[in-house]
Structure 1
Amino acid sequence: MATLYDGKMATIYDAMYQTFVDYDEEYKFYNQLIHEYKCKTVLEIGSGTGNLAKRFQENHQDYIGLDYSTSMIAIAKERTKNCRFILGDMRDFNLEKKVDSIIITGRSTSYLTSNEDVNETFNSLHNNITDDGIIIFDFIDANRFIPYANENQLIIHKAEHEGTDYLRESTWETTLLENFMLDWTAKYYIIQNQEKELIATDFSTVRVFTLNEMQLFLYMNGFQIIKTIDRKTYAYDTYVIVAKKRT
């Protein structure tokens, strides 16, 4: 798994996603599920720059964030002074004490490009939740996204944050699919005087999944699905899965 959003990309990500994502709504969505299943402790994987962490902290919840990027965690620590963040890999981590809910947010499952990555991640989740605990995660729906990416060779997103206008131009290479993987190239610009200035280029190989694939991965790793939510999120059609250990 590649190093994600390090250096200035972490700052650009943080600025643009303030427009892309309604973090109050995002917190409400996950928090409602956590309370529905009477969870008291939560680990967020893909905690990024701490936007959800801030909201968990403001509501005095027992929260830990885990992220793969040192730069993202540095921003998160500035945003939320008293939250605990762990630099780690979702495929292989060990908490000091098991939690009763683990959420993987922001479609971070997209970076699990091999079957081994997926199996290792679910095994780590299984080892770090209580027997009655739940996992909640989202993933991009391959059946809807691949046709969309094929039909839209250039995908543009605009954002504004603290008086700066941003533009992202994304291209997706879908001709050579293995495990429904796509090569994603994104060019980031700021707009000044109606002219765009390139500030960063990012390349990633990501994976999208079918619902049936995820169902089988969970089953093979000792989980059973208790809820499936078809959810439209920023730029993508996604599914959200709630699962628990299989008894």
Structure 2
Amino acid sequence: MANLYDGKMAAIYDAMYQTFVNYDEEYTFYNNLIQENNGAATLEIGSGTGNLAKRFEANKQNYLGLDYSADMIAIAKQRNKNSSFIQGDMRDFKLDKPVDSILITGRSTSYLISNDDINRTFESVYKNLTQDGVFIFDFIDANRFIPFTKNNPVIVHEAEFENINYIRESHWDTNNSLENFMLEWTAQYYTIINGEKEIIENDFSTVRVFTLNEIELFLYLNNFEILKTIDRKTYAYDTYVIVAKKIS
């Protein structure tokens, strides 16, 4: 991962996603899945700047956030005084106490670019769940996303937050030399001032998209049973959401 979530980009990301994502709907969606499976304590991986944490905190739920970026966590802590956050890597983390449900939100699975990354993450999730705990996560569907990027080489997102207009221009390179349905993503971030675009940051990442069959196999190999598969359209791309149960 490049510098997308560090330094000033953490604040820019936060501002843009306030308009990209309806966090009230996002919270209701995930919380319903948690409650269906009797989850009391929840860990959110990829908690970012704490937008979901704010909703869990308002409802006095047992919530913990984990994120790779110290800058994102700093914003989250400022915003959510009564919530707990830890900096960590989803591929290798250990909680003081297992939780009933673990979420990976915001398509953060896209940054698990090798099979080892996925297996290590799923193993860490397994170890930090209570018996019969549930694992809920989303991922971008390769079968729909790759054709979409070929037909749309430049994808533009616009957002307005606190009277500032932002534009993100994303470029996806479906480089056939890369393994595992990996793509090279570059993005330019702009503000609009007096009708003119002014660039504020560039970013580059290598990301991975998945087929549903791949994910099903990774879960099986890491001792999870799939309870529910949800075909979900999100603010930008078609995704699947998986609800899986830890099995002994």
TM norm structure 2: 0.98
Q: Secondary structure at the match of 1:239?
A: strand
Q: Does the CA-based 8 Å contact 2:44-2:65 persist in structure 1?
A: yes
Deviation at 1:81, TM superposition (A): 0.8
Range moving further from structure 2, 172-181 or 16-25: 172-181
In structure 2, give the amino acid aligned to 1:7: G
* Alpha-carbon spacing, 1:4–1:167, altered in 2? closer, same or farther (3 Å): closer
Deviation at 1:109, TM superposition (A): 0.2
Identical-residue share of aligned pairs (%) = 70
* Alpha-carbon spacing, 1:158–1:30, altered in 2? closer, same or farther (3 Å): same
RMSD: 0.9
Match of 2:47 in 1: 47
Deviation at 1:203, TM superposition (A): 0.5
Match of 2:205 in 1: 204
In structure 1, give the amino acid aligned to 2:204: F
Q: Distance in 2 between matches of 1:219 and 1:146?
A: 25
Q: Distance in 1 between matches of 2:153 and 2:228?
A: 34
Establish whether residue 246 from structure 1 lines up as the match of residue 223 from structure 2. Answer: no
Q: Does the CA-based 8 Å contact 2:2-2:204 persist in structure 1?
A: no
Establish whether residue 133 from structure 1 lines up as the match of residue 133 from structure 2. Answer: yes
In structure 1, give the amino acid aligned to 2:188: K
Deviation at 1:198, TM superposition (A): 0.1
Deviation at 1:192, TM superposition (A): 1.1
Q: Does the CA-based 8 Å contact 1:4-1:68 persist in structure 2?
A: no
Match of 2:223 in 1: 222
Pairwise mapping of residues 170-181 of structure 1 onto structure 2 (< 5 A)?
Answer: 170-176=170-176, 177-181=178-182
Match of 1:85 in 2: 85
Deviation at 1:246, TM superposition (A): 2.7
Q: Distance in 2 between matches of 1:9 and 1:2?
A: 11
Deviation at 1:133, TM superposition (A): 0.6
TM norm structure 1: 0.98
Deviation at 1:29, TM superposition (A): 0.2
Cα offsets for 1:2-46 (capped at 9, x unmatched):
565100110100000001000000000000011111110000000
Q: Distance in 1 between matches of 2:96 and 2:203?
A: 35
Pairwise mapping of residues 96-111 of structure 1 onto structure 2 (< 5 A)?
Answer: 96-111=96-111
In structure 2, give the amino acid aligned to 1:31: N
Q: Secondary structure at the match of 1:73?
A: helix
Match of 2:119 in 1: 119
Report how many residues are paired. Answer: 247
Match of 2:196 in 1: 195
Match of 2:156 in 1: 156
* Alpha-carbon spacing, 1:50–1:171, altered in 2? closer, same or farther (3 Å): same
In structure 2, give the amino acid aligned to 1:193: N
Cα offsets for 1:63-103 (capped at 9, x unmatched):
00000000000000111011100000000000000000000
Q: Secondary structure at the match of 1:103?
A: strand
Deviation at 1:234, TM superposition (A): 1.2
Q: Secondary structure at the match of 2:102?
A: strand
Q: Does the CA-based 8 Å contact 1:137-1:240 persist in structure 2?
A: yes
